[in-house]
Chain A
Amino acid sequence: MEAHAATLPAAPRNSIAARAWKWLRHNAVLIFGCLAIAYMLVPIGLIIVFSFNDPVGKFNFTWQGFTLEHWGNAFGISELTDALLVSLRLALFATLISTVLGTLAALAMVRYDFFGRRASNYLIVIPTATPEVVLGASLLSMFLIYGLALGFTSLLIAHVMFCISFVVIVVRSRLIGFDRSLEEAARDLGAGPFSTFLRVTLPLILPGVLSAALLAFALSIDDFVVSNFTAGTTVTFPLYIYGAAQRSIPVEIYVIATMLFAVTLIAMGVTVLQQRRAERLAAVRPQQEGE
């Protein structure tokens, strides 16, 4: 049946306003998402802007003028640079150890059923459910009772401890749903278990392992609370900031924070590009596991 003329919308009603409203409704979520992301970047914006500040006094609270001087002198405050180096070293070692231990543990948890599996699962997960202040405080208690010196070693122990759980969780989610047929194929072709692991499994879970490592690195570099309890008098980057923030915030701290932000953006950008490449290559080859 032909539509009655009266039921057709009059031409002016299909106006720009109506279309705009429809566009808005359709994209509401996306707009909200962009606003949310803007909100998340606000403090970062402030940090970047204030890294160019030129304060007269010791304090960096009010905008007083633009300068590149502090960018040129970014590593000029030796205590700050020392603290940064300590943090980087710590994060590097903590990442290495926790990623290795965590990946092996994840493999065991996902692929084998064994006595103690459920208990191990609890043990791995509970540290993530424990507030950092309790983690730090309990480690401090133990170190105190043993009379152990607090310093880089105690920091490393603490950092590896809270990183392992996260590594296991990330790698495990990557392993679940992993297509075993490739490994079986390798074994059918005569490869031993170790060689299969090295040549087939590891490359395929590598993205998951890398993201776990990245997460561990981020957690370690950013950690303040646990470090505050277990560092003794070693000064990590966050600890330096905590101390310095009491007196003044040298602009160089903002500069270094901006640098950290930029470096991670670049690093993650590279991994994203890597992934795009891998996806494009995978699209060319026949369907493989690996996502």
Chain B
Amino acid sequence: MLTKRVRKHEAERGPNTHAGKRFAVALLALGVSLGIAACGGGGIESDSGSGNVETVKLQGKPSGDLTISNWPLYIDKQTVPDFEKATGVSVKYIEDINDNSEFLAKMQPLLADGQSGGRSMFVMTDWMAKKMYDLGYLQNLDKAGIPNVEKNLIPSLKHPDFDPNRDFSVPWQSGLTGLIVNTKLAPDVHSISDLFDPKYKGQVEMLTELRDTVPLVMLSMGINPDNATEDDWMAAIDKIKKAVDSGQIRRFSGNDYSRDLANGDAAAIIGWSGDAVQLQADNPDIQFRMPKEGCTFFSDNMVIPVGAPNPTAAEAFMNYVYDPKNQAQITAYNYYVTPVNGVKPILQKTAPAAAKSQLVFPTDQYTKNCVNEPTLEGGEEQRVTRAFEGVLNG
């Protein structure tokens, strides 16, 4: 029986009898297919995202089921069960977001139709939250349901450019994009420019995320990302391309730079602050370094999509994690910048290392040169993305 597990690739050739018949069959099949296809419509060809944005309608106390989508390994194990116990809401927590654009691509048919696939809340980075909002895929929040957010959101995140009144987004975690270095292999790397030093050829990695990598390179070229023109973007991308062609950059990665750093395959990379601390457990030589030119801030935000089945419970969850007590647990696990005020004193008792860390509670001095992730829109976005992806897939 095992011997018969043949996969044979068969195609018949033979004398051209029945040629006319075969042609007729093909035509018939084509006709049937076209007939079916003709009844298509809607979907991506329809115009979506127009007019009014809904606001969440709260309905009394939170109850029922809540489905949340988030990035992998972005929450500790206790928060969700604790929330369930505190509110009686039954939570389904899915970790199916790996990339902002991929998530949009996958969700788009649903969202355009006013549905969210069962999700009441998901977490998107600033620029994608804005993009989705502009497309009409998100709801405005009812601030009455999230008093803790009003009270405890740190001032620097209260009025971001992309959502000046925090109408539709609430930060989940914030972070710094900068250098992560293996101090043994690359002791002298202190700036983005150092990444282009031929001494480290083949040991440098950068992020696949356009808005993390290119602004940092722009900073190293003396360009302020907030004022960057399309030509500035292209110039920075060109500099990266040259580094790729010369073999300076080993690869572009997402979070999986962790493996290369831990192994010693990479010596210095552009990475995210929260990972650096985790990596030290695997290799104590690994450290986050604030680049001399500055860093970029990023924020991942909780948003409520159109068609959310249980927005009341979603807002309750947002409110819950903005209680410093609960947030402290999450912060101690993630080591990212917490958007909630009042967490530091709690951590000083429960996780003093986190309380002291510049990565979790960065001082203004530490981040004096840091900028927010710049925005790109419309045709400019398409062209810049295409150019960058061209370098990634060169």
Contacts and interface: CB of A to CB of B under 8 A. Distances in A.
Chains A and B share a contact (CB less than 8 Å): yes
A55 B258 CA distance: 14
**In this complex, which of A57, A239, A240, A271 has the most chain B Cβ atoms within 10 angstroms of its Cβ?**
A57
A275 B2 contact: yes
B4 A208 contact: yes
A118 B96 CA distance: 43
Interface stretch (A25-33, A44-52, A139-147): A139-147
Contacts of A149: 109-110, 113, 115, 117
A260 interface: no
Contacts of A245: 256
Contacts of A128: 7, 9
Interface string B100-131: 00010011111011010101000000000000
B151 interface: no
B95 interface: yes
A144 B255 contact: no
B349 interface: no
Nearest to A78: B93
A262 interface: no
B4 A233 contact: no
Contacts of A142: 40
B282 A62 contact: yes
A145 B256 contact: no
B256 A79 contact: no
B213 to A, nearest CB: 16
Nearest to A231: B106
B256 A272 contact: no
Interface in A247-278: 247-248, 268, 271-272, 275
B115 A147 contact: no
A196 to B, nearest CB: 22
A143 B25 CA distance: 26
Interface size class on chain A is 35 or more
Interface string A112-154: 0001101101110100110000000000001111111111000
B18 interface: yes
A235 interface: yes
Contacts of B47: none
Interface stretch (A5-13, A97-105, A167-175): A167-175
Given A62-B262, A79-B95, A173-B6, A144 B44 contact: yes
Given A150-B106, A150-B109, A215 B5 contact: yes
B115 A115 contact: no
A246 B254 contact: yes
B166 to A, nearest CB: 26
A243 B7 CA distance: 32
A233 B102 CA distance: 10
Contact of B11 (A125, A211, A239, A242): A125
Contacts of A147: 41-44, 46, 109, 112-113
A64 to B, nearest CB: 8
A83 to B, nearest CB: 9
A188 interface: no
Given A170-B5, A235-B96, A244-B72, A56 B281 contact: yes
B43 A232 contact: no
Nearest to A279: B1
B15 to A, nearest CB: 12
B73 A244 contact: yes
Contacts of A125: 9-11
Given A59-B278, A121-B11, A246 B98 contact: yes
B154 interface: no
A79 B69 CA distance: 11
B32 interface: no
Nearest to A210: B1
B94 A145 contact: no
B112 A243 contact: no
Given A169-B7, A245-B256, A57 B1 contact: no
Interface string A77-109: 001001000000000000000000000000000
B150 to A, nearest CB: 31
A2 interface: no
Given A79-B95, A122-B11, A169-B8, A59 B109 contact: no
Counting chain A CB atoms within 10 Å of each CB, the highest count among B10, B41, B71 belongs to: B10
A274 to B, nearest CB: 8
A135 B187 CA distance: 48
Nearest to A116: B25
A171 B70 CA distance: 44
Given A115-B25, A119-B22, A170-B7, A242 B98 contact: yes
A121 B95 contact: no
Nearest to A291: B4
A151 B117 contact: yes
A118 B113 contact: no
Interface string B259-270: 100110000000
Interface in B193-212: none
17 contacts: A55-B281, A57-B282, A82-B94, A118-B18, A125-B9, A128-B7, A143-B109, A145-B44, A147-B41, A147-B44, A148-B109, A149-B109, A149-B110, A151-B117, A170-B4, A211-B2, A232-B107
Given A55-B282, A129-B9, A244-B73, 6 more contacts: A79-B93, A151-B117, A169-B9, A232-B106, A242-B98, A247-B258
Interface of A: 55-59, 61-62, 79, 82, 115-116, 118-119, 121-123, 125, 128-129, 142-151, 166, 169-170, 172-174, 207-208, 210-211, 214-215, 231-233, 235, 239-240, 242-248, 268, 271-272, 275, 291
